[in-house]
Structure 1
């Protein structure tokens, strides 16, 4: 994979330009205290979560799990039955940023396009919640859903996990946790949008796709990892960095990968490991796309293509239907 930032898809370039302009209303991101940085990110991303499909019902609940309470947002689309398949969605943001609000439209898009209930989790962020606090809570919620899903209209036999960036990591890590306690039967499949599965970013990928003009570069990514991990030793923990994990027995995985992205390196390597260890995996590299490109769905055909590919994968495994996204090894 070769290229540089000059090869961005025109719509994605426009997405980045609009965000850069919106950031002019705020001080330099790196200079902001964490609470102010989170507030600024919410405001800059707000325009990209507007619009999209209406839901038959959207409700929020506080769920008490074995690992503690967690707030969830449930999107139920029109035209589904009383016990429907469900997607548990974990937003990205480097374990540090973003929320149910920044990813609200994306969750509604999956609900409407795949014909299933989407449950967004308001998991605790780092550095306040270090590894494995968020993972413990997500795993505990997934166990709660398997045992209690019918009370919120979920078919407990048809549950998928998905997430973008850090959320892709947490989705896979949750599967590993469930497998290791003998409960992997809960999860039917996993969708990862430009997931990060290792804290390592090579000089080659930083030179090609990092630098000051990238939406995320190595320095920023390493800051997020430092927020999440307790120390360098955690970088080898398979639950923190699943690239180092025994992956045998995982359910089918779909990796959506942005070509022009320093994080793509870990997704590509992770895809190879899944193949090597016998896991059913589909990989699709989106040429001209960068990290977070799916958020540009209101202006980008490439983002809509990625969302529809993910929805088709979910329909195939949870609802029924065709899945024709190509594997790009």
Structure 2
């Protein structure tokens, strides 16, 4: 069952067009609307993190509306830090497998509100519950605070999940961009602690390293694509502090591309072709495979960073979510 259709922001009067555009037309429509709404809401250099978050929340509101209706949804505060979580259950069944979802936003922006529709899409299509975590954001709460919040929620899931219709033995970790990074790091922490491991990792256009590779130059034009190299550098600095990417300060729990990846569960990597993070995602899939991890790499031509948020108007986003959900249902069966 699907909810009411979303009320999208009006298209800008002059749509931005590019010669030999390699972005899918539906996703180009999404980008045009997003860039126009960002400008209308007053986005500009020099804003504080809270100001940027407020704009990002308002910008995403139309894209969150609509989509699948859930059998039940609830919000809780769990763990010592009273982390806000939201649980979507697509059906009334007890003991549902669960996807623990970690939103993106460079460890700095977004919330379980901006990603609510995406979480409901996964729930409806996979048949599993989805538990979204509102982990603490940087720069107010830098690494490893987000991982501490996630650990508290996973411990709660193991101890109390059954009381909320969830099967703690069948859970996957997933997220987009910074959330994909946190998913890998959290799984590594579980492995190293000897805790119950997730059944799978759902990794959407993850930020795994921070090194500028060829795709940074190819897809870093902020007028044509969604994410630029300087923006990504700012996110890393927000998360890790000054000199975030210096070799002397490299922590594999933050830059998980450099971590020991053995013993991780099967992983699904959803990657956008027109994304500065393309190269590190391809290399991450290779590193996972070399470590003995079953890694499925899916590259979506014509897609940009954040393209899954365009699911209401994009057939590519719709297909990507459907394919990931089919894989998710299989690993959680």
Q: Is the 8 A contact 1:234 1:240 kept in 2?
A: no
Aligned residues of 1:201 and 1:265 also touching (Cα < 8 A): no
* 1:169 counterpart (173, 181, 198): 181
Aligned to 2:262: 248
Q: Which residue of 2 aligns with 1:226?
A: 237
- Unmatched segments (≥5 aa) in structure 2: 1-18
Q: CA deviation at 1:278?
A: 0.9
Equivalents in 2 of 1:188, 1:71: separation in Å? 23
Asked whether the equivalents of residues 274 and 280 of structure 1 are also in contact (C-alpha less than 8 Å), the reply is yes
The alignment status of 1:275 with 2:275, answered yes or no, reads no
Answer whether contact 2:191 2:197 (CA < 8 A) is retained: no
Q: Which residue of 1 aligns with 2:8?
A: none
Q: Post-superposition shift, 1:28?
A: 3.8
- CA positional deviation for 1:235: 5.7
Q: Distance in 2 between matches of 1:169 and 1:5?
A: 32
Task: Name 2:227's counterpart in structure 1.
Answer: 216
What's the counterpart of residue 327 of structure 1? none
Distance 2:89 2:20 in 1: 38
Quick one: distance in 2 between partners of 1:110 and 1:98? 18
Mean Cα deviation higher: 27-36 or 113-122: 27-36
Task: Tell me how large the CA RMSD over aligned residues is.
Answer: 1.5
Alignment partner of 1:54: what SS?
Answer: coil
Cα distance in 1, alignment partners of residues 163 and 264 from structure 2 = 27
Shift in Å, 1:246: 0.8
Match of 2:90 in 1: 77
- Give the gaps of 5 or more residues in structure 1: 320-329
Counterpart CA distance in 1 for 2:103 and 2:51 is 19
The answer on 1:26 being equivalent to 2:41 is yes
> Residue 29 of structure 2 aligns with which residue?
14
User: Contact (CA 8 Å) 1:48, 1:295: kept in 2 or not?
Assistant: yes
Following TM superposition, by how much is the alpha carbon of 1:310 offset from its aligned partner in structure 2, in angstroms? 1.1
TM-score, L = length of structure 2 = 0.90
Structure 2 equivalent of residue 112 of structure 1 = 124
Aligned to 1:47: 62
- 3-state secondary structure, aligned to 1:168: helix
- Give the secondary structure class of the aligned counterpart of 1:289: strand
Pairs aligned (count): 311
Shift of 1:50: 0.7
Separation in 2, partners of 1:127, 1:226? 8
Residue deviations 1:62-88, cap 9 Å, x none?
A: 0124xx22110010112x521110110
Q: CA deviation at 1:32?
A: 2.1
Contact 1:191 1:255 in 2 (8 A): yes
Equivalent-residue separation in structure 2 for 1:180 and 1:312 (angstroms) = 29
**In 2: Cα distance, 1:180 partner to 1:123 partner:** 21
Contact 2:270/2:299 (<8 A) preserved: yes
- Residue of structure 1 equivalent to 2:217: 207
1:139 to 143, 151, 160: 151
In the alignment, the residues of structure 1 paired with residue 310 and residue 89 of structure 2 have an alpha-carbon distance, to the nearest angstrom, of: 23
- 1:58 aligned onto 2:70: no
Partner Cα distance (2:310, 2:71) in 1: 24
Quote the residue 1:311 is aligned against. Answer: 325
Any conservation in 1 of the 2:215–2:279 contact (CA below 8 Å)? Answer: yes
**Separation in 1 of the partners of 2:165 and 2:252?**
33
Query: TM-score, normalised to structure 1's length?
Result: 0.91
